């Protein structure tokens, strides 16, 4: 006959409290107890060691995060984990529109600075010139940007946002703001502003100098 994993008796006839007996203070044994309780409708408020025995070890239920607590003390890990989750959601938002992060970067830069030569865009974004051309061509095909002669110097060709591109960027920015709200849901408005201020300071500290950008420009892997 199959033996029950857990056996015990109720201290209270109402069943509001109960005791488990005959369980050694071993993590593996208590893990079986927690798994059994997790499959019931019971709500476990607290555990105490009765009869002068050793209290059961604190073992998190299966639903809790399995991230090692010591790792949560590492700011670099936290920034990586949160950044990875944010990047995934941002990528999903862009892919729904047939765009990638590099497309967003080019459109945002053109909105901030106005029409730019491709070489200037490549330098600003730290991307190889040939790869920048591919990104611009993608945006030209879907009508988000166009390439025209510079009014100040007809020998130069500049990239500019089209009216459709400006409208798309406004819509996309609003959608990304909603994604921000989901990610930062645990924070109130003041905490979000404080976080943004701190992140901008760290970003400014890590942002490479223009001379460094000229030496090495990655391709658009995203």
Q: Which residues of the chain have pLDDT under 50?
A: 1, 5-13, 51-52, 62-63, 213-218, 221-222
Q: Express each pLDDT in 37-87 by its tens digit.
A: 666 655 555 555 554 455 555 555 544 566 788 888 899 999 999 999 999
117 CB-near residues (< 8 Å, 6+ apart) = 150, 156, 157, 158, 159
CA distances in angstroms from 6 to 16, 24, 40, 63, 202, listed in the order given: 18, 12, 13, 20, 52
Smallest CA-to-CA distance from 105 within 147, 135, 81, 64 is with 135
pTM of the predicted model as reported, rounded to 2 decimal places: 0.62
Q: What is the pLDDT of residue 152?
A: 79
pLDDT value at residue 10: 46
Q: Which CATH architecture does the domain made up of 70-215 adopt?
A: Orthogonal Bundle (1.10)
pLDDT at res. 150: 84
pLDDT at residue 11 in the model:
46
- For β-strands 157-161 and 145-149, DSSP reports them as antiparallel
Residue 67: Cβ within 10 Å count? 11
């Amino acid at each position: 006959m199959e033996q029950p994993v857990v056996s015990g008796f109720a201290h209270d006839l109402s069943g509001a409290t109960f005791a488990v007996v005959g369980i050694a203070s071993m993590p593996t044994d208590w893990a079986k107890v927690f798994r059994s309780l997790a499959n019931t409708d019971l709500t476990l408020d607290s555990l105490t060691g009765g009869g002068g025995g050793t209290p059961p070890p604190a073992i998190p239920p299966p639903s809790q995060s399995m991230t090692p607590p010591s790792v949560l003390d590492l700011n670099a890990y936290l920034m990586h984990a949160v950044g990875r989750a944010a990047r995934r959601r941002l990528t999903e938002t862009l892919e729904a529109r047939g765009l990638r992060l590099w497309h967003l970067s080019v459109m945002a830069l053109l909105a901030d600075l106005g029409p730019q030569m491709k070489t200037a865009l490549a330098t600003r974004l730290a991307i190889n010139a040939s790869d920048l051309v591919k990104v611009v061509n993608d945006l030209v095909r879907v009508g988000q940007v166009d390439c025209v002669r510079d009014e100040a110097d007809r020998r130069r060709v500049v990239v500019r946002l089209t009216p459709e591109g400006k409208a798309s960027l406004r819509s996309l920015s609003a959608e990304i703001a909603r994604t921000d709200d989901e990610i930062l849901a645990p924070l109130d408005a003041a905490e979000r502003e404080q976080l943004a201020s701190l992140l901008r300071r760290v970003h400014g500290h890590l942002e490479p100098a223009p001379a460094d950008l000229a030496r090495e420009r990655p391709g658009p892997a995203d």
